[in-house]
Amino acid sequence: MFFATVTTAVLVAASACSGGGNNSGPVTLTYGVWDVTQAKTMQKIANEFHKAHPNITVKIQVTPFDSYWTKLQTAVTAGTGPDVFWMNTANAKLYATNGAILDLDSDIKKSGVNMNNYVDAIREAYTVNGKVYAIPKDVNGFGLCYNKTLFKQAGVQPPNASWTWNDVISAAKKLTDPAKHVYGFVAPNTDEEGWYLTVLQSGGQVITPEGKKSGYDQPGTITGIKFWTDMVLKYQVSPTLQQTTDTDPEAMLTSGKVAMRYCGSWEPEELAAVPYGKANLDVAPLPKGPNGNRDFYSNGLANVIEAKTKHPEQAWEFVDFLGSKRAAELQAQTGTVIPAYKGAAGPYAKSMPQYDMQVFIDALPDSKPFPASENTTAWSDYATQQFANAWTGKASVADVAKQVASKMNQDLAAEQH
């Protein structure tokens, strides 16, 4: 684990640098992000910030996500990391508990920032051991993307807010056409756009609230995962694991090969970029689960300050602006993300009139903090790998879930200091 050998060094360096900022002269801050598309908007925000703070210039550094975390960890260890950078919920506790990012509580108090302005699930995800380590940037909503043309051709009523899992299954059966190689639904082996959207709806959980025990072996969790494997194996209304490995599920949707797919709020821009997707797709609310709710785990990004920054005061000024309603509205206008700032999502809803974008926003009250611990990837990657056996029928969901829970509990126990 990366921080295991550098924790002390990071903490010492962080405390040594924490008072190094001043506002007397020109300062250039570096801002680490991973999305080229969003970088354009972030630059616009940085330029607007610079107008109000002429002594502070922001230089955006874009690193592709595939290498972002590896390069960031190396840079943070060497003391050359970005002054401000994007953080996700899976890594927040790792960076916070190892002193790699600054605790923002004092800055928040001095500046009068109201943390209740941000979507609850995302605000809570970045509060570690009672302290706030990030200002939320955006939040993921989810819905059921569907092919309205295929529905019409099959004589099936399109999905609506009353739909349950049973409605999805029933429609998927009618929409599946083996002769045309068209499936009613696509059920990939994945967590964020898969079972993280269903386990809470059946009374399960991936991790207990205190973050010390796995919930994978709970009956409700098993039910939530089985919803997906049944689509492949029992009802045969979804492509196989091999097919979804060979071809991206989103591409299946935008090519008319699948009629329904659970999708995230960042995807409409990608769907609309494909002519077929722009003309034939739409979005409906997440179907209700057995417990009658639409609860789901939501991820979302936030902005953090590197613990070794030489300009903590200026970095905070920038992070404060990044968390403002104005910055949120600028992001919302792109239709790429839903800002985590409450009440600023209006422009997002109007960004692509061909889709019912409001569905993603309306889902947010049902969002819950993304499952995470200090070393999230250790058990989350393992879970995805092992559940492949359930997707192919080599093992039952219950057996795999028990195995995953056992390994995850070991990983969580190892995190306890």
What are the tens digits of pLDDT across the range 266-277? 999 999 999 999
**243 belongs to a structural domain:** yes
Q: In the structure, what pLDDT confidence band is assigned to residue 38 with cuts at 50, 70 and 90?
A: very high
Q: In the structure, what pLDDT confidence band is assigned to residue 13 with cuts at 50, 70 and 90?
A: very low
- Percent of the chain at pLDDT > 90 equals 91
Residue 237 CA to residue 184 CA, distance in Å, equals 5
Q: 124 and 187, same structural domain?
A: no
Q: 155 and 269, same structural domain?
A: yes
Separate counts of helices (H) and strands (E) for the chain: 19, 14
Q: In this structure, what token pair is assigned to residue 239?
A: 């492509």
Quote the pLDDT of residue 147.
Answer: 98
Structure confidence by residue, pLDDT tens digits, 288-300: 999 999 999 999 9
**Residues making up the chain, counted from first to last:** 417
Q: In this structure, what token pair is assigned to residue 74?
A: 């190396």
pLDDT, greater one: 417 or 85: 85
Mean per-residue pLDDT, 298-316: 97
Quote the pLDDT of residue 226.
Answer: 98
**37 belongs to a structural domain:** yes
Alpha-carbon Rg of the chain, whole angstroms?
A: 22
**355 belongs to a structural domain:** no
Q: 153 and 276, same structural domain?
A: yes
C-alpha 124, offset from chain centre: 14
Quote the pLDDT of residue 417.
Answer: 62
Give residue 9's domain range.
2-140+299-343
Q: In this structure, what token pair is assigned to residue 372?
A: 């995470």
Mean per-residue pLDDT, 211-238: 98
Mean per-residue pLDDT, 302-317: 97
Q: 253 and 151, same structural domain?
A: yes
DSSP 55: T
Q: 119 and 108, same structural domain?
A: yes
Full DSSP string of 32-45? EE--HHHHHHHHHH
Task: Indicate if the pLDDT at residue 308 is higher than 60.
Answer: yes
Mean per-residue pLDDT, 361-368: 96
Q: 271 and 163, same structural domain?
A: yes
**361 belongs to a structural domain:** no
Q: In the structure, what pLDDT confidence band is assigned to residue 79 with cuts at 50, 70 and 90?
A: confident
Other CB atoms within 10 A of residue 410 CB:
12
Q: 147 and 24, same structural domain?
A: no
Pairing between β-strand 367-369 and β-strand 296-298 as defined by DSSP bridges: parallel
Residue 156 CA to residue 171 CA, distance in Å, equals 7
Mean per-residue pLDDT, 386-402: 98
Q: 95 and 7, same structural domain?
A: yes
- Percent of the chain at pLDDT > 70 equals 94
Cα distances (angstroms) measured from residue 169 to each of 186, 195, 360: 11, 16, 22
* CA diameter of the chain: 72
Q: 187 and 274, same structural domain?
A: yes
Q: 318 and 223, same structural domain?
A: no
**359 belongs to a structural domain:** no
Q: In this structure, what token pair is assigned to residue 349?
A: 């809803």
pTM of structure:
0.90
Quote the pLDDT of residue 25.
Answer: 83
Quote the pLDDT of residue 24.
Answer: 61
**351 belongs to a structural domain:** no
Q: 243 and 383, same structural domain?
A: yes
Q: What CATH code is carried by the domain that includes residue 257?
A: 3.40.190.10
Across all residues in the chain, what is the average pLDDT? 93
Contacts of 388 (CB under 8 A, 6+ apart): 189, 241
Quote the pLDDT of residue 6.
Answer: 40
Q: 410 and 280, same structural domain?
A: yes
Task: Indicate if the pLDDT at residue 9 is higher than 50.
Answer: no
Task: Indicate if the pLDDT at residue 11 is higher than 80.
Answer: no
Pairing between β-strand 281-285 and β-strand 138-139 as defined by DSSP bridges: unpaired
Residue 29 CA to residue 203 CA, distance in Å, equals 45
Total structural domains within the chain:
2
C-beta of residue 303 within 8 angstroms of C-beta of residue 323: yes
